Structure 1
Amino acid sequence: MTAHSASAVTAAQDIRVAFGRLRRRMQEVATDDDLTPSQASVIVRLSKGEAATAAGLAQLEGIRPQSMAATLLALEQRGLILRTPDPTDGRRQVVTLTAAGAQVEEGNRAARGEWIVGRLDEVCTEQERQLLIRAAAVLDRVADR
């Protein structure tokens, strides 16, 4: 195992905890509170084009295909997604957002954006916001491969 600096270990732990708390809080802010967290996550993934099949979504979410099937059925019944046969493989289905699903995601994204801007204005000083801007650039660099 590689020896790491104490500051790298502390920073990694603090970032993981803060990001986890921030992520959970932003999920709570969603405008459509009838969606389960897994349903909301699928809508976000579809809006980003991360996957287009039930199997791909299940793999990304780290759940069994049967669980994903139940999530997709609930979203389909609400008119938020559409499942169509894959033109290259009839055994698979391509999953896409409907206009209503895209509208839900846009509303949720706007609500989360408004919430975080409001919290930054409310809780942080101008100096702290400038520090966060610089920290975000560093984190972006860390995330690059």
Structure 2
Amino acid sequence: MTDAPAILSASSAQTARELRVLVSRLRRRFLEASDNAELTPSQLSVLSRLKNGDATASEIAAAERVRPQAIATHLAILSDRGFVLRRTDPKDGRRQLVSLSPAGRELIAGRRRAGQEWLTTALEEKYTEAERQTLLAALELLERLGPQ
């Protein structure tokens, strides 16, 4: 790991601020564009975690960085609403595995489709082809910020 330079450029600081604000605004807009089924952001986050497969309540709590009691409350609501299923872990009968139900999978997929449709339409309406190509080039540069 390399040490950060002692003095950061003004352009780096400005870009970081503006990018953080933009990402926050886009995230809110994605949430507005999708059907949240009247679920809280925390409940939606739990559902999103389960899209990659089964997990225990304690695994979800650790990933979400919350107490297991909080996850238990969310899971009870999600189960009552038919978005998650629980079953005994075949490897350890003392644990329960939680997974997305078909309704939960459809909710997640529908939210993703709605966000994609909103963004595609917005890009088509607000930007020229040349501007969209510039955005694609900028995204290639921003990709370096992600995990390697």
Please classify the TM superposition score into its range, dividing by the shorter chain length. Answer: 0.7 to 0.9
Identity of aligned residues (%): 45
Match of 2:136? 133
TM-score, reference length from structure 1: 0.87
Are residues 1:22 and 2:22 paired? no
Which letter maps to 2:24?
G
Are residues 1:54 and 2:57 paired? yes
Q: Give the match's secondary structure for 1:48.
A: coil
- Deviation digits for residues 14-45 of structure 1 (CA, Å, limit 9, x no counterpart): 21111111112111222243222112121122
Unaligned runs of 5+ in 2: none
Q: Give the match's secondary structure for 1:94.
A: strand
Are residues 1:9 and 2:13 paired? yes
The 1:23/1:48 distance shift into structure 2, 3 A limit, reads: farther
Deviation at residue 137 of structure 1 after TM alignment = 1.4
Alpha carbons 1:27, 1:37 under 8 Å: kept? no
| Cα distance in 1 between the residues matched to 2:69 and 2:14 | 39
Match of 2:76? 73
Match of 2:39? 35
| Cα distance in 2 between the residues matched to 1:23 and 1:32 | 13
Aligned residues: 144
The 1:66/1:90 distance shift into structure 2, 3 A limit, reads: same
Which letter maps to 1:68?
I
Q: Give the match's secondary structure for 2:124.
A: helix
Match of 1:115? 118
Larger radius of gyration: 2
Deviation at residue 125 of structure 1 after TM alignment = 2.4
Residue 106 of structure 2, aligned match among 93, 103, 108: 103
